[in-house]
Amino acid sequence: MNKFSIKTAKRQIGKLYLLDSVGSLMIAGASWVALLAARGFTTAEIGLFESIFHVASMIFEVPSGAVADVFGRKKTMIASSVVSVLAALMMIFSNSFLFIAVAMVVSALSYNLASGTREALAYDSLKEAGIEGEYDKFASNDLVIYQVTSSLAKILAGAALALGYRKAYAVDVIVGLIAIGIAASLREVRTELSEEKSVKKRFAEVARESFLFLKNNSRVRLIIIFNAAIGAVSILVLFFLQARLPEMGISNVFLGPALFAMGLGAAVGAKTVEYIKPSRYRYIGVISLLCVCFAFAMAFSGNIILAVIGGFVGAFGDNYIEVRTDVMLNNMIPSEQRATLMSVNSFMFSVVMIILSPIFGALFML
């Protein structure tokens, strides 16, 4: 097995940063709730779309992680970008509830292919170079980059609405094509599993070892469940504020900046972890729980400023715990099942989102 030099590993991390930056600059994807609301869909219907997305994500998540472990993380990242382009094209030509639902399923597959795979590729690249201790810095920086660039995309929500959904998704297609090129430049990290000759044997081993690991690690299970619940509440508040803020009286001109400001909360939360590290995970959990509860309450305050502040605080709490969870899980799981087990984390998030999305959609109609 060829080892990475420190220079090679850091170059790989830089490409992953760039890939996340470009992939997050999809203006239609960042404002999909607002675009659907502008097309006449109700928040209840949008909540159903979100549930459909996460039902598909729940189905695809763990298998997609196994695909990454078996066939390679680079190939899976390329596939993710290709499928994201397909999803954007489908949204351009989808006019009915049914076809948009299908497009959401395809979008979920794109998300699943990258979820877990990105983290596994980053961690094992650093591990190959003997600098896996720098992973917490990657996890923090990657979330900051993602949140800042996705917030920049959201600040263009007014522009996306002005362009109309077809032109906005056409921009996403172009961005997706650029992402494919970046993913293709990544370097594969080989594991003992990826060198097995039998594909069937690889999948069987991934499934067996991942199941046993989760069965024997109750702490991992609890961390995954709690992290999923915090993330789901925070994200749903931000999603539905895209539709609720205009109803509260905010203009299209200020909608983008408001979404951008809330997104910055996530970036601050991710970066704060580097400087404030409580000795116990439970302390981080309490802080994050209080943050998302405050965000939920402020979303129903009827005041635009309080709602935006709440969104910022909730996003802060979500990423504050997300970075610590990511680092802890990666330090606890074996390389051969890393993408699969990190996908279980996203799988649980999807389960919680399926349950909460229609509930939040109905609540935000009140």
pLDDT digits (tens, 9 = 90+) for 225-240: 899 999 999 988 888 8
The two tokens of residue 194 are 């990826």
Residue appearing with tokens 């172009």: 174
CB of 317 closer than 8 Å to CB of 39: no
Distances (CA, A) of 6 to 12, 13, 74: 10, 11, 19
The whole-number pLDDT of residue 104 equals: 94
Following CA atoms 41, 43, 45, 47 in sequence, which dihedral angle do they give, to the nearest 10 degrees?
A: 140
pLDDT digits (tens, 9 = 90+) for 18-27: 999 998 888 8
The whole-number pLDDT of residue 1 equals: 45
- Mean pLDDT taken over the chain: 84
360 Cα distance to chain centroid: 19
What backbone phi and psi angles, to 5 degrees, belong to 346? -70, -35
- In this structure, the number of other CB atoms found within 10 A of the CB of residue 6 comes to 13
Q: How far apart are CA 63 and CA 327, in angstroms?
A: 22
Half-sphere exposure of 272 (CA within 13 A, CB side): 19
By residue count, the chain amounts to 366
Global pTM reads: 0.72
Residues with Cβ within 8 Å of residue 330, at least 6 apart in sequence: 119, 123, 135, 139, 338, 342
Instruction: Give the residue from 349, 56, 316 showing the smallest Cα distance to 225.
Output: 349
Banded pLDDT at 91 (limits 50, 70, 90)? very high
Distances (CA, A) of 155 to 24, 252, 258: 12, 10, 7
From the number of C-beta atoms within 10 Å of its C-beta (0-12, 13-18, 19+), residue 1 rates as exposed
The two tokens of residue 28 are 């239609």
Half-sphere exposure of 101 (CA within 13 A, CB side): 10
- In this structure, the number of other CB atoms found within 10 A of the CB of residue 127 comes to 19
The two tokens of residue 165 are 């959904």
Q: How far apart are CA 261 and CA 164, in angstroms?
A: 23
pLDDT digits (tens, 9 = 90+) for 176-206: 999 999 999 999 887 655 554 555 666 676 6
Banded pLDDT at 94 (limits 50, 70, 90)? confident
Mean pLDDT of 346-359: 81
Banded pLDDT at 81 (limits 50, 70, 90)? very high
For the four alpha carbons of 255, 261, 267 and 273, in that order, the dihedral sign comes to negative
CB of 29 closer than 8 Å to CB of 153: yes
pLDDT digits (tens, 9 = 90+) for 105-147: 999 999 889 988 898 899 889 988 889 888 888 888 888 888 7
Helix crossing, 338-363 with 199-215: angle to 10°? Answer: 60
Helix crossing, 281-299 with 304-332: angle to 10°? Answer: 150
Banded pLDDT at 216 (limits 50, 70, 90)? confident
Give me the percent of the chain exceeding a pLDDT of 70.
Answer: 92
Judged against a pLDDT cut of 90, whether residue 340 lies above it is answered with no
